[in-house]
Structure 1
Amino acid sequence: MRKVWIGLSVPLVELDDTLSGVTSSMATRIDRLAEPKPNLLRFPDRRSVYWLDKLPPQRSGPTNFELSKRWSKLTEGKQIHSKFEQSRRSAEWCVSAAALKALPSDRVCSLALPRLPAVGWQPDRPLLAKLSVAKMAVASPRICELAQPKLGSLPPPLDHPGNGTPLTSASSRIHLLAAPKNDHPQYLPDRPVSWPPSATACEAVASERLQELSQPKPRRGLFEGYNPYTVSPAARAASASPRTQELSLPLARKCRKT
C-alpha cells in the first residue's frame, strides 16, 4: 500500500492504525457496558451479627485463640508521658507543727465575732399578737349606737308587724294573676315511646288497593335489558300549557331584531 499524504501531513497507514486502536477500545468499552449488572441480592441474608438463643456446640478438639501483635498493643493501658510532672497538690495534706501551735491575734478574734444588728433594730412582730389591755376594754355608748344595723334600708319581713303597722294582704286581682294557667280542655299530653295497639288496629284488614300500593315498584337492572332513556307513551302525547309555552319563550331584551 502506498503512502498517501493528506493536508495534516500524516501518512494514511498511520491513520489506519490509530483508528483501529480507537475502534478496539470503543468495542471493549461497549462490551463492558453491555454486561448485565451483578445481582447484589443473590445472598440477601448476609448479616454481620447473629443473635443466638443459646451457645453453639463446642468442637471436639481444643480451640486456641491467639492475638496478633497489633491487638496485644491496643489492649495495653495508656502509659504516662516520660516528661509528666506532678504539679497538683493532693486534696488531703498534713498540718504543720507551727500551725498547730499558732494563736490568733486580737484582730483575728474581733473579726471572728458575729456582726451585731444596728442600733434601734427590733425583731418582726409575731403574726398573732397577744392581747393584754384590749381584753378589758369597754365600748362607749356611741360605739354601741353605731354598731346597731340600719332599719330603713332593708324592708321588714312579712311576718313582722314593724312599728305597729298592720300586715298588708294581696288583692283578688293579684291572687287571680298568681294562679297557675290551666291546660286547654282538648290538650293531649305526649304519647309514650311505645304503646300497645288498639283492638281495632289489630283486627283491621288492608283493602286490595292498599295491598297494590304497598307493592314495590318493579325495576330491572341494566344487565337485564333495562333502558333508562325510553320515553313513556304518556310523555309523548303530552302537550304544554299556554303558561309553560309563555315561560319557555326567550326574554325580549335578549332577542336580536333582524
Structure 2
Amino acid sequence: MASRIDQLAKPKTNLLKFPDRRSVYWLDELPSRPKSSTTAFETTPRLEKLVQSKRPIHFYEDNRRSVEWVVSAAALKACPSQRVCSLALPRPPADGWQPDRPLMDTLSVAVKTAKPSPRICYLAQPKQIKMTLTHFSVESSEHEIGISTTPSARLLRLASPKQVHPQHTLARSVSWPIPKHVLKAGASERLQVLARPKTRQALFEGYNPYRVSPAAGSATASPRLLELSLPLPRKCREQ
C-alpha cells in the first residue's frame, strides 16, 4: 500500500485528454456534427420587425427651403378654447408684491429724529468673547491670585540650565598629535590571528553547515542554562 507521501507525489490526472465529452443521456448513435463552425439562429417575425429602422412620418419634410410656409385654412379659422386662453395669460404676481424701491428713497422726519433705546444700544454692541484661563485671569491682581513675587527654591532649581558633566571633553580637532609609543607599537601574533576574517568554504566546495565541532560536542551546560531550558511550570501537564 502506497504511503501518503507517495499519493501526494503523483501528478494530477490530465482531464484535457478527453476533449469529446458525451452527454449524460444514453444515445444509440452519436449526434451529427454541424458543418458550420458557428451556431445558426432562427429569428422570429417579431425580431425581424424590431430590427428594421424606424420610418419617418408620411408628411415629414427633410429640409424646408424657406422659413415661410403655407398655413392651412383650418388653422386660419381656428378659435382657441377658454382653457387655452387662460393658459396663454401671463402669471400674475403674488399678493402683497411690491416693485423694487428706488435707491434714494425719501425718509420721513420721524425716522430722521428717532433715538434708539438703551436696549437697542446694548444689542448693537459687538459680542465680546471672554477668555477663561485655567489658573488665573490676566486682569486679576496679585493680591487676589495669591502668588508671591519671589519664586521658591524649587522653581529656581528647575529654571537653572543643566550643567556640563565634569568629565565631558569638547570635540577635538581632526588632526591631533600621536604619541611616539603608538607609532612604534607592533601587533602581536594573537592580534594578527584575530584580525583575519573568518574563512568559510562554499557549499559546492564541500562545506557542511550541519557539522558539529568537537568543542560543541563535549560542552556541558551550566546550571543557569539548564534552568532556562526548562519549560514554564504553567505549561507542563501533570501525568
TM range (shorter): 0.3 to 0.5
Please report the TM-score for the alignment, with normalisation by the length of structure 2.
0.35
Please report the TM-score for the alignment, with normalisation by the length of structure 1.
0.33
